[in-house]
Structure 1
Amino acid sequence: MSHVPSRVLVTGAAGRLGSEVLRVLAAQGAAVVGLDRVDPGGVETFFTGSAADTALVAEAMRGVDAVIHLAAIPRPTLGTPEEVFVGNTAATFVVLDQAARAGVRQAVIASSLSIIGLPFSPTPAVPHYVPVDEAMPFQIADPYALSKQADEATAAMVARRDGMAVVALRFPMLGELDFLAENAELFRVDPGAGAPSLWGYLDMRDAATACWLGVTAEVSGAHALYLAAPDTLSPYPTEELVDRYLPGTPRHAPLPGRTVPIDTSAAQALLGFTARHIFEVTPAELGES
């Protein structure tokens, strides 16, 4: 059973994912409050500024019954280590703390596959095993991944303290069709370039749908969930990619064909989420690369 929020605050509303989330919310008939540093227009109620601004967030939270928190510096290279870690974690704390104070009962926050520590690792790293799942230990060595770990800890704290349900969506690489096509070609020419991200992806439309499911599903407590399309963005067999580019990584389950080495069963079980927009990649033999 699910409930439908009547008024949703979306932080990072002007971003690529935020813009798609606004379209999903409009299609669902939910009233939207947007918050971002830049007003993209088209949102009836919009607050311009930082998601770490307590007074601004408190004002934006009035009358809201669900929150989708997407505002963040999305890569460790887009700011100093202090800006990335402190900025991201401060925004998440302020948004969730103010949501709890306003009586909001359900929230989604954008986490990341990067939390495992591979995508932005300053040194070579391989996962403890594949497919990656929520039980796998982290190998964090960069401020962005560390900020996501802190964000998820904040979600767990608010869930315990205030009884708010918080779903942290561990997104893989997100993209629209042109972006996915560029990366599919990159992974064809240089398969190793996709290893840190486990060759995974998710269409931006599916990511936005997952956000909606996160604020409408009947859940309690804090949950962190991996998401991905079922197949990789690489044309080569996953088992061969793992052998070549993630040497020595144990396999806890078979990875036939181009199966993504990310276990998304928890998101399916909790939210009923299944990726629907699959990027068409023509399979190939790894020896062709």
Structure 2
Amino acid sequence: MTVPGPPAAPPYRVLVTGASGTIGRRTVDTLVEAGIGVTAVSVDGPGDWPAPVRGLRIDATDEAAMAEAMDGCEAIVHLAALAHPSLGTPLRVFTNNVVSTFTVLTLAAQGGIGRAVIASSINASGINLNPHAPAPAYFPLDEDLPADIADAYSLSKRVDELSAAMVARTWGLDVVALRFPLVKSPEELRSIGAETAQDPASMMRTGWAYLTVDDAARAVLCALRAPLPGAHVIGVSAADTLLDLPSEDLLDRYAPGVARRRRFADREALIDTTRARTLLGFEPAQSVHEFASAPGNGCGEGETH
């Protein structure tokens, strides 16, 4: 049976896995601020959540516990993962991430939940973490960038996207896989930017992309609200790059042999966020550069295709 997508208004209760992580904690706060009930799931336990939040200590690979936790929820935000290949053996990283995502999505679909938002990654292309250091095929980086995967984490993110497509096709669950770049607080990002300025080539393969944690949480809210059926992979990014240098200059110096599909103005981001804008109505509101900061904004209606 095909489950219809959610209305433009957010659902009443959302289950968030990985709720103690960088994006997870801010997402819980953002949902609560939007008047949404939250069940926060984390292997680290309930935590000090505000009163409306139901906190649970659960491993997202635990099928029985996750099925019970989903009771009464209308949507799922799945953020739990081992988020770097260094956080375990290749087998551990891959199986944890893939099994948890597949468990969450299949339980949600079979339980009649209408919408899931999952955390994919800019690393789903494999380019950034590949030890052979391949250059991207082109800039701006987009969701169709040819993959070159040589690590277990990047592979797990690509498989998660395929799992989302399969579950949508089989059971009709609507799934948005958000390809997050580097996500931190503005203060942390400024510090990383200062370090990266000493070796700009170190971030070339991700296009010096970043997103503040507040904007990441807003992207999740937009993905929950968008009237968007099916499974979609959507890249998100700040509107500029992490470095305080013109984008064309960065490419001239550090990626001279990489094709450019268009020209870039000033410090414009080197990530194509067309899908985020047109399908989710999401526009980044924050920048690590004061001259580019913008007031917060909500989610547009998006465009379904």
TM-score bin (small chain): over 0.9
Match for residue 68 of structure 1 among 66, 77, 80: 77
Three-state SS of the structure 1 residue aligned to 2:233 is strand
Aligned partners of 2:291, 2:70: CA distance in 1, in Å? 46
Deviation at 1:21, TM superposition (A): 0.3
1:210 maps onto 2:216 in alignment = no
> Where do 1:245-284 residues align within 5 Å?
245-280=254-289
Three-state SS of the structure 1 residue aligned to 2:220 is helix
Structure 1: which amino acid aligns with 2:137? H
Counterpart for residue 38 of structure 2: 32
Aligned partners of 1:243, 1:139: CA distance in 2, in Å? 23
Structure 2: which amino acid aligns with 1:219? L
2:15–2:70 Cα contact (<8 Å) kept: yes
Aligned partners of 1:120, 1:132: CA distance in 2, in Å? 15
Counterpart for residue 110 of structure 1: 119
Aligned partners of 2:75, 2:246: CA distance in 1, in Å? 41
Structure 1: which amino acid aligns with 2:106? D
Aligned partners of 1:259, 1:121: CA distance in 2, in Å? 25
> Where do 1:45-60 residues align within 5 Å?
45-60=54-69
Aligned partners of 2:267, 2:256: CA distance in 1, in Å? 18
Three-state SS of the structure 2 residue aligned to 1:196 is helix
> Where do 1:102-251 residues align within 5 Å?
102-251=111-260
Three-state SS of the structure 2 residue aligned to 1:133 is coil
Counterpart for residue 87 of structure 1: 96
2:26–2:213 Cα contact (<8 Å) kept: yes
Aligned partners of 2:214, 2:26: CA distance in 1, in Å? 6
What is the alpha-carbon root mean square deviation over aligned residues?
1.4
Structure 1: which amino acid aligns with 2:250? L
TM-score (normalizing by structure 1): 0.95
2:61–2:99 Cα contact (<8 Å) kept: yes
Match for residue 42 of structure 1 among 49, 65, 83: 49
2:180–2:211 Cα contact (<8 Å) kept: yes
User: Per-residue displacement from partner, 1:197-228 (whole Å, max 9, x unpaired)?
Assistant: 21010000000011111111101000001100
Change in CA separation of 1:42 and 1:281 when aligned onto 2, cut-off 3 Å: closer
Instruction: Tell me whether 90-99 or 186-195 shows the greater mean CA deviation.
Output: 186-195
Three-state SS of the structure 2 residue aligned to 1:169 is strand
Deviation at 1:281, TM superposition (A): 6.4
Deviation at 1:247, TM superposition (A): 3.2
Instruction: Tell me whether 119-128 or 24-33 shows the greater mean CA deviation.
Output: 119-128
Match for residue 27 of structure 2 among 10, 14, 21: 21
Structure 2: which amino acid aligns with 1:95? V
Number of aligned positions between the proteins: 283
2:125–2:158 Cα contact (<8 Å) kept: no
Counterpart for residue 302 of structure 2: none
Deviation at 1:256, TM superposition (A): 2.0
Aligned partners of 1:236, 1:3: CA distance in 2, in Å? 39
Gaps of 5+ in 2: 1-6, 293-305
Structure 1: which amino acid aligns with 2:96? G
Deviation at 1:238, TM superposition (A): 1.4
Q: What's the % identity of the aligned pairs?
A: 40
Deviation at 1:187, TM superposition (A): 2.3
Change in CA separation of 1:160 and 1:72 when aligned onto 2, cut-off 3 Å: same
2:186–2:287 Cα contact (<8 Å) kept: no
Counterpart for residue 287 of structure 1: none
Structure 2: which amino acid aligns with 1:6? Y
User: Per-residue displacement from partner, 1:34-86 (whole Å, max 9, x unpaired)?
Assistant: 11101222254222121001011101110110000000001111111011111
Counterpart for residue 9 of structure 1: 15
Gaps of 5+ in 1: 284-289
Three-state SS of the structure 2 residue aligned to 1:124 is coil
Structure 1: which amino acid aligns with 2:191? E
Aligned partners of 1:170, 1:234: CA distance in 2, in Å? 20
Counterpart for residue 286 of structure 1: none
